């Protein structure tokens, strides 16, 4: 990571390489089978704190089946999250979508989730040397429940409303030590409840604009625990502006995100919080028809387009401007 003048460089650097592959097979007119895999190799440079390089390989194969029956669509699948450093997890998923009206649907889903710790929490001292590392940290796990609806009854207006309830276990929080310092540990269970709303306007030529809002409420459900859940992205605004023209096969999408974390005032001072800012990403893609049954979409993404300095804690700043690109092949 490279820091601007006046901004302290992080104590380590991450190099992440990998890729994703996904294929869909149309089993019958109402049945699709999708399979894919994600793979990432993480190389963390901790030489400045005496630990050299730590590496991890993460792989996530998955398969999903979608079945349509009239107005009802059912889907189910399973994913395995494997890691060379942490214990893996098999995560099932199931959902249903029911169409009502001309262009309105209601949906619900349940799935299992998995979030591995970052490698720095295993070896590095955090937050102005107040939080010690824990080499025995385990991944956070959760069951996710959601329900909502989407409507596009008016051709120029699309709306979405979602509610969710996430039940987390083995939550990573700080544990008080006898010497007055703290240490990362898997101690708590908690719930994450919230609502997400979005409104999108669109024009027949392909121009569109949208604005969304997400509110999260976290509650510690561990018996007799007094630990407060902080560093949570409580209020999130999202925006999008772009052009999608199927006739020429061009898509341009500028998205923005504004995040506010629920840190206490004295914690914000210690962490030198620099949140509550807009961060923008740009995606450009071009679709090329190779034949009647084959096409390829070439895309490029620019993340943190304006190179904004953003973090909820200064020792883990948001990634500076970076780019990725690739191609998506479609066979009919």
224 in the Ramachandran plot: left (φ > 0), alpha (ψ -120 to 50) or beta? Answer: left
Class of domain 66-331: mainly beta
Contact 117, 105 (CB under 8 A): no
Please spell the DSSP secondary structure of 145-214, one letter per residue: EEEEEEE--STTEEEEEEEEEEEEEEEEEEEE-TTS-EEEEEEEEEEEEEEEEEEEEE-TTSEEEEEEEE
- Region 296-301: mean pLDDT is 96
Tens digits of residue pLDDT in 25-47? 998 889 999 999 999 998 888 77
pLDDT cut 90: percent of the chain above it: 51
Phi, psi of 123 (to 5 degrees): -130, -20
Q: Give me the count of residues in the chain.
A: 332
Phi, psi of 49 (to 5 degrees): -115, 15
Give me the helices (H) in 34-140, please. 120-123
pLDDT of residue 12: 62
Sign of the four-CA dihedral 138, 110, 312, 315:
positive
C-alpha span between 58 and 87 (Å, rounded): 11
C-alpha span between 282 and 92 (Å, rounded): 32
SS3 275: coil
SS3 309: coil
Give me the helices (H) in the chain, please. 120-123, 265-271
Find how far residue 270's CA is from the centre of its chain: 26
Our CA angle for 303, 304, 307, nearest 5°, is 135
pLDDT of residue 125: 65
Tens digits of residue pLDDT in 189-218? 888 899 999 999 998 889 999 999 999 988
- Region 61-69: mean pLDDT is 97
SS3 102: coil
Tens digits of residue pLDDT in 265-290? 777 777 788 888 999 999 999 999 88
Of 298, 296, 300, which Cα lies nearest the Cα of 330? 296
Kindly state the tokens that stand for 130: 């107040």
Please spell the DSSP secondary structure of 240-273, one letter per residue: EEEEEETTTTEEEEEEEEEEEE---HHHHHHHT-
The answer on pLDDT for 7 being more than 50 is no
C-alpha span between 62 and 118 (Å, rounded): 23
Our CA angle for 171, 173, 176, nearest 5°, is 140
C-alpha span between 246 and 244 (Å, rounded): 6
In this prediction the pTM is 0.75
pLDDT of residue 6: 35
Q: What is the CA radius of gyration of the chain?
A: 22
pLDDT band for position 152 (50/70/90)?
Answer: very high
pLDDT of residue 50: 67
C-alpha span between 106 and 35 (Å, rounded): 25
- Region 125-148: mean pLDDT is 83
The DSSP H or E segment spanning 42 is: strand 31-46
Cα atoms in the Cβ-side hemisphere of radius 13 Å centred on 331? 4
pLDDT of residue 15: 82
Cα atoms in the Cβ-side hemisphere of radius 13 Å centred on 118? 15
C-alpha span between 285 and 243 (Å, rounded): 11
């Amino acid at each position: 990571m490279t820091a601007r003048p006046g901004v302290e460089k992080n104590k380590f650097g991450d190099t992440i390489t990998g890729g994703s592959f996904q294929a869909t097979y149309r089993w019958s007119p109402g049945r699709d089978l999708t399979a894919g895999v994600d793979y990432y190799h993480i190389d963390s440079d901790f030489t400045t704190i005496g630990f050299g390089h730590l590496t991890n390989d993460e792989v996530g194969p998955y398969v999903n089946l979608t079945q349509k029956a009239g107005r009802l669509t059912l889907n189910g699948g399973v994913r395995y999250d494997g890691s060379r450093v942490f214990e893996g997890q098999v995560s099932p998923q199931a959902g249903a979508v029911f169409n009502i009206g001309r262009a309105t649907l209601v949906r619900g889903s349940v799935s299992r989730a998995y979030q591995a710790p970052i490698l720095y929490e295993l070896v590095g001292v955090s937050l102005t040397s107040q939080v010690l590392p824990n080499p025995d940290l385990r991944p956070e796990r959760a069951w996710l429940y959601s329900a909502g609806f989407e409507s596009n009854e008016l051709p120029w207006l699309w709306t979405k409303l979602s509610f969710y309830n996430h039940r987390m276990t083995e939550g990573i929080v700080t544990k008080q030590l006898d010497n007055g310092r703290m240490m990362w540990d898997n101690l708590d269970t908690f719930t994450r409840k919230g609502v997400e709303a979005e409104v999108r306007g669109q024009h027949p030529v392909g121009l569109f604009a949208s604005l969304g809002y997400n509110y999260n409420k976290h509650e510690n459900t561990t018996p007799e625990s007094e630990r407060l859940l902080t560093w949570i992205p409580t209020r999130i605004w999202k925006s999008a502006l772009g052009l999608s023209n199927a006739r020429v096969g061009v898509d341009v999408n500028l998205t923005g995100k504004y995040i506010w974390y629920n840190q206490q005032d004295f914690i914000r001072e210690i962490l030198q919080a620099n949140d509550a800012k807009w961060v923008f990403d740009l995606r450009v893609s071009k679709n090329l028809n190779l034949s009647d049954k084959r096409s390829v979409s070439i895309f490029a993404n620019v993340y943190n387009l304006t190179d904004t300095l953003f973090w909820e804690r200064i020792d883990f700043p948001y990634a500076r401007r970076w780019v990725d690109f690739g191609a998506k092949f479609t066979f009919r």
